[in-house]
Amino acid sequence: MSLRLSSPTDYEALLNDYDTWLFDCDGVLWRGDQVIDGVVQVLNILRRRGKKVVFVTNNATKSRKSYKKKFDQVGLEAHVDEIYGSAYAAAVYISSVIKLPKDKKVYVIGQEGLEEELHDEGISFLGGTDPADNTLDSFNLKDFTVDPDVAAVVCGLDTQINYTKLSKAFQFLTRNPECLFIATNEDSTFPSAHGLLPGAGSISAPLRFALGRDPVCTGKPANTMLDCVKAKINFDPKRTIMVGDRLNTDILFGQNGGLATLLVLTGITSEADITGPNASPIIPNFVTSSIGDFRVIESA
Amino acid sequence: MSLRLSSPTDYEALLNDYDTWLFDCDGVLWRGDQVIDGVVQVLNILRRRGKKVVFVTNNATKSRKSYKKKFDQVGLEAHVDEIYGSAYAAAVYISSVIKLPKDKKVYVIGQEGLEEELHDEGISFLGGTDPADNTLDSFNLKDFTVDPDVAAVVCGLDTQINYTKLSKAFQFLTRNPECLFIATNEDSTFPSAHGLLPGAGSISAPLRFALGRDPVCTGKPANTMLDCVKAKINFDPKRTIMVGDRLNTDILFGQNGGLATLLVLTGITSEADITGPNASPIIPNFVTSSIGDFRVIESA
């Protein structure tokens, strides 16, 4: 059973109990280009009280640097080293967990942000934004040679997805059985400013289906993402809370990592998903309608 | 346990026992543009002996008329009314099974062949080969209005697959909960002349994943395809045999329809898939290395 936050005392208690606050972004801090009401004030409250603030996003189209620009644009304070994205987690996974040898390469289905993170981790890659792969021209295997140095395919959200990219990735993964299949995240959808669109999980779905094999996933709810945060920031899991709008990514991620969890209803999850006979089995510790609700502390 | 055909008597017995011969095409009659050795002679033997010959293909990119041209090109005799494709089955399913009202439309992810079959069945459609939907330009929901007359999304192999098509289909299917989700077939791959590429099942996979919902499938192994054949041709299932190279489509299709089944090893399935501890649970009645093996009758 989740505790519904309502009185100023409830919000005060959370501020006293948790020193590190992990936030999902889309659907929690903003929707599309619109900051959710009260977020600026609430982040200020947290910073004034000396809380560590960390932004953990499955967004795989932006590097941390360009995600920082998104914060600037919408008028929210954030620092690059507070931002952890699934593209960064994928790059760190490749460079530091599997320790890809320097002479090996990665085939990318994804956008600039993923390429930027791979580059910053010193990983060679092909595909991605290469104009040769961003085409609707027909793909013929006759004209294609598998580069034997490609040791992994990494797949993030890619709105330039096309049959050439899928076919090339499929060749790397089938002709070399050692080739790793990595997905930045498995979000089925993502909330654009004007509604839901297919997410990164939908972009890797054709390969999953064609291969009959699931990728290693580096985004929430996988622990790879939390390992990334742990590598850079000291925090006590018992005094850390994950705030998110999705039960099967954000809340599960917090639970997998032994953190407290707070669900907000400004994004994907609605009241109907957490109450009644069809409620999800993933139960957050706390629920509030919006992160903006914490403003009640100051008006109290 | 399958019977391995080897002696002229084995092949004679099959010709005596079955009057109607259903053939898969890719991997059975040809690979890419290359006819498999002996196929011309074997089809001639069947026709000379008065057998009914039917071609049942999950190919959804060609209409029956254009699939006939493929037979002509490779030098095989075939008539349009002997050809049953999954695009045709999808069109017949929409026009005759669900009886889509004439004022309703279908959104197409697919190629000319699917459009041609829909047109021939009198079904209005949008998407498909429309240049507006065959683009890698970015898709913004702000510029898109859901046409309330779209009552189904039909998805076949589409080598022009892109984010605009997926996003539009996703909108039709989520904003109108009554909207039907139909796939021509669920083949994970298809055999091109130079190797396997992602198949129609991989093209509908992003929508399945984003929606968390499976489509109605009109291709093999679904009975919809056999219903199509039955509507046009009289045959006795007990004296009918399905010849194919895929266990989970062709052979299962024959079994689902109560037909005898013959597996050939010129396509997807290899010896290793049907023998030993990891053999498939789908067991054909008969196995031969190639349909060309039936030539032994004439040289005997």
Q: Could you tell me which residues are beta bridge partners of residue B31?
A: B34
Across the interface, whether the CB atoms of B197 and A160 are under 8 A apart is answered no
Together in a domain, A195 and A288: no
> How far off is chain B from A9, nearest CA to CA, in Å?
40
Q: In what order do the strands lie in the sheet with B180-183?
A: B124-127, B105-109, B150-155, B180-183, B216-217
Q: Which residues of A touch B192 (CB under 8 A)?
A: 140-141
User: Cβ(A111)–Cβ(A158) under 8 Å?
Assistant: yes
Across the interface, whether the CB atoms of A174 and B197 are under 8 A apart is answered no
- Say whether A26 is catalytic: yes
Across the interface, whether the CB atoms of A210 and B198 are under 8 A apart is answered yes
Q: Which amino acid is at A227?
A: D
Together in a domain, B240 and B166: no
Q: Is residue A144 part of a domain?
A: yes
Together in a domain, B48 and B114: no
Mutate to test the interface with A, among B31, B197, B211, B280 (most CBs of A within 10 A): B197
Together in a domain, A237 and A288: yes
- Tokens 């070399």 belong to A176
Together in a domain, B176 and B246: no
A23-32, B3-12, B175-184, B271-280: the lowest-pLDDT one: B271-280
- What is the Cα–Cα distance from A277 to A280, expressed in whole angstroms? 9
> How far off is chain B from A135, nearest CA to CA, in Å?
7
CB-based contacts of B129: which residues, under 8 Å, 6+ apart?
B111, B112, B115, B160
Q: Is the N-terminal amide bond of A191 cis, ω within 30° of 0?
A: no
Together in a domain, A123 and A155: yes
Report whether B72 belongs to an annotated binding site. no
Active-site option among A10, A17, A19, A26: A26
Together in a domain, A179 and A225: no
- Where residue A23 sits, what CATH number does that domain have? 3.40.50.1000
Q: Is residue A110 part of a domain?
A: yes
- Tokens 């079904």 belong to B123
pLDDT recorded at residue B276: 81
In which region does residue B124 sit, left (phi positive, over 0), alpha (psi from -120 to 50) or beta (all else)? beta
Together in a domain, A109 and A187: yes
The larger pLDDT score, comparing residue A264 to residue B277, is at A264
Q: Which residues of A touch B140 (CB under 8 A)?
A: 192, 194
Which residues of A sit in the known binding site?
A: 24, 26, 220, 245
CA–centroid distance for B135 within its chain:
27
CA angle in degrees (0–180, nearest 5) for B108-B110-B113: 110
> How far off is chain A from B285, nearest CA to CA, in Å?
26
User: Cβ(A290)–Cβ(A37) under 8 Å?
Assistant: yes
Across the interface, whether the CB atoms of B136 and A160 are under 8 A apart is answered yes
pLDDT recorded at residue B33: 83
Across the interface, whether the CB atoms of B136 and A140 are under 8 A apart is answered no
User: How confident is the model over B94-141, as pLDDT tens digits?
Assistant: 998 899 999 999 999 999 999 999 999 999 999 999 999 999 999 999
Going from the C-alpha of A130 to that of each of A146, A183, A289, A297, B166, the distances in angstroms are 16, 19, 43, 50, 22
Across the interface, whether the CB atoms of A203 and B201 are under 8 A apart is answered no
Counting one residue from A and one from B, how many pairs have CB atoms under 8 Å apart?
116
What confidence tier does B191 reach under pLDDT thresholds 50, 70, 90? confident
Angle between helices A112-120 and A64-74 (to 10 degrees): 130
Residue B202 pLDDT more than 90? yes
Q: Which helix (H) or strand (E) holds B45?
A: helix B39-48
Q: Is A260 on the interface with B (CB under 8 A)?
A: no
Q: Which of A140, A198, A211 lies closest to B170 in CB terms?
A: A198
User: How confident is the model over A87-143, as pLDDT tens digits?
Assistant: 999 999 999 889 999 999 999 999 999 999 999 999 999 999 999 999 999 999 999
- What is the Cα–Cα distance from A290 to A28, expressed in whole angstroms? 7
Q: Is residue A83 part of a domain?
A: no
Residue B300 pLDDT more than 70? no
Across the interface, whether the CB atoms of B160 and A197 are under 8 A apart is answered no
> How far off is chain B from A203, nearest CA to CA, in Å?
6
Q: Which of B141, B158, B163 lies closest to A161 in CB terms?
A: B163
pLDDT, chain B, mean: 94
Tokens of B275: 């023998």
Task: Report the residue of chain B nearest A133, measured CA to CA.
Answer: B136
DSSP three-state, residue A238 = helix
User: How confident is the model over A158-177, as pLDDT tens digits?
Assistant: 999 999 999 999 999 999 99
Q: Is residue B247 part of a domain?
A: yes
Together in a domain, B209 and B233: no
Domain limit, last residue, from B159, B187, B217:
B217
Of the candidates A114, A151, A111, the residue with the CA atom closest to the CA atom of residue A133: A111
In which region does residue B278 sit, left (phi positive, over 0), alpha (psi from -120 to 50) or beta (all else)? alpha
Task: Note which residues in 195-254 of chain B have CB less than 8 A from chain A.
Answer: 195-199, 201-203, 205-212
Together in a domain, B111 and B181: yes
CA angle in degrees (0–180, nearest 5) for A102-A105-A106: 130
pLDDT recorded at residue A300: 59
Q: Is residue B67 part of a domain?
A: no
CA–centroid distance for B199 within its chain:
11
Domain limit, last residue, from A190, A217, A244:
A217
Together in a domain, A117 and A200: yes
Across the interface, whether the CB atoms of B194 and A142 are under 8 A apart is answered yes
Q: Could you tell me which residues are beta bridge partners of residue B223?
A: none
Across the interface, whether the CB atoms of A188 and B212 are under 8 A apart is answered yes
Which residues of A sit in the known binding site for substrate?
A: 220
- Say whether B130 is catalytic: no
Quick count: other Cβ atoms within 10 Å of Cβ A99? 8
Residue B238 pLDDT more than 70? yes
Q: Is residue A213 part of a domain?
A: yes
User: Cβ(B219)–Cβ(B184) under 8 Å?
Assistant: yes
Domain limit, last residue, from A171, A195, A217:
A217
Across the interface, whether the CB atoms of B193 and A142 are under 8 A apart is answered yes
Going from the C-alpha of B300 to that of each of A95, A122, B48, B297, the distances in angstroms are 64, 67, 17, 5
> How far off is chain B from A161, nearest CA to CA, in Å?
6
Percent of the residues in chain B that have a pLDDT greater than 70, as a whole number: 100
Mutate to test the interface with B, among A146, A159, A209 (most CBs of B within 10 A): A209
* CA count, 13 A, side-chain hemisphere, B99: 0
Q: Is B146 on the interface with A (CB under 8 A)?
A: no
- Tokens 């190797």 belong to B195
Q: Could you tell me which residues are beta bridge partners of residue B189?
A: B198
User: Cβ(B75)–Cβ(B139) under 8 Å?
Assistant: no
Quick count: other Cβ atoms within 10 Å of Cβ B200? 30
Q: Which of B158, B194, B209 lies closest to A188 in CB terms?
A: B209
What is chain B's percent helix, strand, coil content, to nearest 5? 40, 20, 40
CA angle in degrees (0–180, nearest 5) for A101-A104-A106: 120
Determine the average pLDDT of the residues in B173-186.
Answer: 96
Which residues constitute the domain of residue A228? 3-58+221-299
CA angle in degrees (0–180, nearest 5) for B172-B174-B180: 60
User: How confident is the model over B9-57, as pLDDT tens digits?
Assistant: 999 999 999 999 999 998 999 987 899 999 999 999 999 999 999 999 9
Q: Could you tell me which residues are beta bridge partners of residue B262?
A: B243, B286
pLDDT recorded at residue A228: 84
Q: Is residue A246 part of a domain?
A: yes
Q: Is residue B256 part of a domain?
A: yes
Together in a domain, B173 and B230: no
Q: What's the structural domain count of chain A?
A: 2
3-state secondary structure B144-197: CCCCCCEEEEEECCCCCCCHHHHHHHHHHHHHCCCCEEEECCCCCEEEECCEEE
> How far off is chain A from B15, nearest CA to CA, in Å?
36
Residue A299 pLDDT more than 80? no
User: Cβ(A129)–Cβ(A115) under 8 Å?
Assistant: yes
pLDDT, chain A, mean: 94
Task: Report the residue of chain B nearest A158, measured CA to CA.
Answer: B163
